[in-house]
Amino acid sequence: MPVERALVSVYDKIGLADFVRRLAACGVEIVSTGGTARLLREAGIAVRDVSDLTGWPEMLGGRVKTLHPKVHGGILFRRGEAGDRAQTAEHKIAPIDLVVVNLYPFESTAARPDLTHEELIENIDIGGPAMVRSAAKNFESVAVVTDTADYAAIAAEIEARGEVSLATRLELARKAFALTARYDGKIATELERLSAANSSIDLGQRPVLPARLHFAFTRQQELRYGENPHQRAALYVAAGRNATGLPAARQLQGKELSYNNLVDLEAALALAGEFRRPAAVIVKHSNPCGAAEQDTLVEAYTKALACDPISAFGGVMAFNRPLDAATAGEVAKIFVECIVAPGYEPAALEKFASKKNLRLLQLPAGYSAAQEAEWELKRISGGLLVQEQDRHELAESDLKVVTRRAPTREELDAMLFGWKVCKHVKSNAIVFARAGQTVSVGAGQMSRVDSVKIAVMKAQLPLAGSIVASDAFFPFPDGVEESAKAGATAVIQPGGSVRDPDVIAAANRLGLAMVFCGVRHFRH
């Protein structure tokens, strides 16, 4: 399928002139439209206007220029079909062998805060997607280029052989249909914002949970395996956007990542993002087994490790500051699967150089957990659950003292710290903490008192004088009683149980200070 004629109509003109100049040098006739044709002429490239090809001028303010049988007939013409050859000859339709099209930037336009509904509608590309779909459908005869990153390879292929191979045309068609699917999905999503009342149209806020969801993701990398070695897995990122968060992190050393590595890294990174001072988080099987926030990173790591050094073996770590040599030296003393941090001092990297299997990930500059997706998704049989991210931040003013004894300043600081950690522990969640340090964690039990007992059983540090954070209310006094028996002096919990009076009475009897925060943090 020699390339003799190309139709070029693009919004993003980066690299276009060089690409088209290479096509023209191969004898390819260039047909173009509007601003694209003007740019190519200014670059000294001979261009035929699409209106000359069709015999019709551009119409309706440019809305209609390529929607014509001589355009789509030239693209959809099947070279191997005798009937198609006869009809194109009869109607003097010139074959179009290469379509180079990219679309109006609808997504970036829709994100503008000052956008009007008229601008939103006018940035819906019609002719571009129609040509892309026509060319992609007829990939056995036509090549379609929608990505500027493909220009060099396509030009080289035409220069070498005068055509684009069938394998390349098929891959280009896949990319093209993925583009139009994503494009239409974005339009459908944004139209959820439009409301019509009294014969007028208003552009409102994006609905928190729209009536329809449209997702488009591209595979970034295959993973070593899924949760288990017999399961295959891959990492996908939002199509058409630059990767963010963990997918944008640069792996500095270590073997390839597995599914479980990324799940644990995300859990560790989310908790580390809760803290303002230097913080270290150690995660095992999605649960924090140690977390601390201190004046220095090495202090934070040392205190986080002290919480549960046994579980930390083979764990995943996250830091909210660049890793320095002193902290790296301490971390290097134990076996760790993965570490993610905003950066690493050269001396820190030297400490890890001998640990060839240790995966080190460096976050992209300017990373912030608050910038990540606003939705959490969970697949169930036959459907998809969608919820807002749990971004609730507790303020001291939200706390209500419900016992005779009010907490001390030290206990309050410990409560606020422990509550941040508790939010990231699988329910039923119990966290024993001091100010800036977890002391013990009980996670994922079917009864809350059992989570307390497990935290007490696992404790490597003294529990005397610690506080207890519970992600949901205590349904019975037993959890509070077990906590006090272990040495806790204060409790933070949501409250809201029908047995709150019994739980409060138990706390008063035991001399505990207890506060209700009025919000729960179930994590399933």
Is 225 contained in some domain?
A: no
Q: In this structure, are 351 and 407 located in the same domain?
A: no
The verdict on whether 521 is a catalytic residue reads no
CATH of the domain at 188: 3.40.50.1380
CATH number, position 464: 3.40.140.20
Q: Assess if residue 223 is contained within a domain.
A: no
Considering 13, 186, 285, 355, which one is annotated as catalytic? 285
Tell me the residue range of the domain where 420 lies.
396-516
Together in a domain, 184 and 314: no
The verdict on 30 and 149 lying in the same domain is yes
Q: Is 376 domain-assigned?
A: no
**Local confidence pLDDT in tens for the 524 residues of the chain:** 788 999 999 988 999 999 999 999 999 999 988 889 999 999 999 999 888 787 777 767 667 777 788 888 888 888 888 887 888 888 888 889 999 998 888 777 777 777 777 778 877 888 889 889 999 999 999 999 999 999 999 999 999 999 999 999 999 999 999 999 998 888 888 888 777 655 566 667 777 788 888 888 899 999 999 999 999 999 999 887 788 889 999 999 999 999 999 999 999 999 999 999 999 999 999 999 999 999 999 999 999 999 999 999 999 999 999 999 999 999 999 999 999 999 999 999 999 999 999 999 999 988 877 666 678 899 999 999 999 889 899 999 999 999 999 999 999 999 999 999 999 999 999 999 999 999 999 999 999 999 999 999 999 999 999 999 999 999 999 999 999 999 999 999 999 999 999 999 999 999 999 999 999 999 98
524 falls within a domain: no
- Are residues 253 and 159 located together in one domain of the fold? no
Active site residue 356: no
Tell me whether the omega of the peptide bond preceding residue 428 falls within 30 degrees of 0, making it cis.
yes
Instruction: Find the Cα–Cα–Cα–Cα dihedral 455, 461, 466, 472, rounded to 10°.
Output: -20
| 184 plus 302 within the same structural domain | no
Cα–Cα distance, 117 to 115 (Å, whole number): 7
Q: Give the domain-ending residue among 329, 354, 370.
A: 370
Asked whether 314 and 284 are in contact (CB, 8 A), the reply is yes
One domain for residues 366 and 411: no
Same domain (yes/no): 330, 448: no
Same domain, 422 and 512: yes
206 is a domain residue: no
Task: Dump the DSSP string for 324-367.
Answer: PHHHHHHHTTS-EEEEEES-B-HHHHHHHTT-TT-EEEEPPTT-
Q: Is residue 348 part of a domain?
A: yes
- Our count of domains for the chain comes to 3
Q: Is 211 inside a domain boundary? A: no
Q: Among the three residues 194, 213, 229, which one is the final residue of a domain in this structure?
A: 194
Same domain (yes/no): 300, 432: no
Whole-structure pTM value: 0.84
Task: Return the residue matching tokens 């019609």.
Answer: 126
Residues 249 and 345 in one domain: yes
In a domain, 462, yes or no: yes
Nearest-angstrom CA–CA distance, 383 and 285: 26
According to DSSP, the residues that pair with 469 across neighbouring strands are 431, 492
Residues 328 and 264 in one domain: yes
Among 137, 186, 214, 458, which one carries the catalytic annotation?
137
Q: How many residues does the chain have?
A: 524
Residue 74: Cβ within 10 Å count: 23
Compute the chain's Rg from CA coordinates: 30
351 and 412 both lie in a single domain: no
Query: Domain end: 194, 217, 251, which one?
Result: 194
Strand pairing partners for 432?
Answer: 440, 468
